[in-house]
Structure 1
Amino acid sequence: MSMITQDSAVTLHFTIKMKDGSVADSTQNMGKPAKCIIGDGSLSENFEKCLLGLEQGDKKSIELKADDAFGQPNPDHIHHMDRAKFVGDAEVEVGTIMAFSGPEGAEIPGIITEIAGDSVTVDFNHPLAGQDVTFEVEILSVE
């Protein structure tokens, strides 16, 4: 059995729970586990530290403060857009999450937080930014 170390390729299921116990995200819902490489920067350092030493079949509940999970909301990620840019059938209303094309054509989700006249405020911060969360992980394989 191999243990998770630096540079391990890990396949895992995870469920992200909010403080109130509600589920924010889960790979099980999508029916597809997540894959990550320890140390490639896709996970926060503290989260990686919690995974080190786990083996295939292990389950662990990891509580992360906002800084170690999705970070704090960044005011630079809040943009004001002209309502005329929102065309088509998409309903523009507060709370709607829409995909916007970012640099290099990547899609970035943004949530509409305010509409004032012709100005639409869109927040591109991660929806869980600023939140303390619990990751429940189940390690499926370690390579």
Structure 2
Amino acid sequence: MTKQIGPQSEVVFHFTIKLADGSVADSTQLHGKPAKLKMGDGSLTPNFEACLLGLNEGDSHHFELGPDDAFGPVNPNNIHHMERSRFAADMTLEEGAIVAFTQPNGTEIPGIVRDVAGESVTVDFNHPLAGQQVTFEVEILAVEQLAVENQGA
């Protein structure tokens, strides 16, 4: 019997995300460990999950996704200009550096330094792949159907 991915599936799969120039942005195969997810658990965007629906155990497939379907467009409100004095004096700030910022609730969020000009540092809090067209390649290793929990009995 073919095991097909549905909304109540747990899926084990390898994935590779490639940029428009063919470079690899992320890949489970590079780490030698496949990904595992429960459909609908929020670990993938709805558009990535939609690509998986209907695939069968053993399938390999690739999907072209534009920015709106992948990591979203670049949001200019997520780009901030900060004074150099807000950073540790011994911190090396250069274009491309990733800096962790602690939010008021204690969680950390990464920001990418986009520019350093005198005492002004431009930090981008968008997802690093925001605004990018990507190719999502998947190899479905295992599909299990999860029992739907009885809500109130």
TM-score class, shorter? 0.7 to 0.9
Which residue of the partner structure matches residue 92 of structure 1?
Answer: 93
CA apart distance, 1:30: 2.4
Distance in 2 of aligned mates of 1:100 and 1:32: 29
Which residue of the partner structure matches residue 69 of structure 1?
Answer: 70
Which residue of the partner structure matches residue 13 of structure 2?
Answer: 12
Which amino acid is 1:10 matched to?
A: V
* Pairs aligned (count): 143
CA apart distance, 1:33: 2.0
Which residue of the partner structure matches residue 128 of structure 1?
Answer: 129
Q: Which moved more, 1:53-62 or 1:128-137?
A: 53-62
Distance in 2 of aligned mates of 1:96 and 1:21: 23
Q: Which moved more, 1:7-16 or 1:99-108?
A: 99-108
Distance in 1 of aligned mates of 2:22 and 2:6: 30
Query: Normalized against structure 2, the TM-score is what?
Result: 0.82
Distance in 2 of aligned mates of 1:22 and 1:15: 10
Per-residue displacement from partner, 1:42-64 (whole Å, max 9, x unpaired)? 33333222211112221111111
Distance in 2 of aligned mates of 1:114 and 1:8: 44
Which amino acid is 1:142 matched to?
A: V
| Cα gap change, 1:7 to 1:76, in 2 (>3 Å) | farther
RMSD of aligned Cα (Å) = 1.9
Q: SS in structure 2 opposite 1:68? A: coil
Which residue of the partner structure matches residue 82 of structure 1?
Answer: 83
Larger helix share, 1 or 2:
1
Counterparts of residues 45-64 of structure 1 (less than 5 Å): 45-64=46-65
Query: Normalized against structure 1, the TM-score is what?
Result: 0.87
Whose radius of gyration is greater, 1 or 2?
2
Distance in 2 of aligned mates of 1:65 and 1:126: 14
For the 8 Å contact 1:7–1:40, the answer to whether it is kept is no
Unaligned 5+ runs, structure 1:
none
Which amino acid is 2:94 matched to?
A: E
Identity of matched residues, %: 63
CA apart distance, 1:89: 4.8
Is 1:118 matched with 2:105? Answer: no
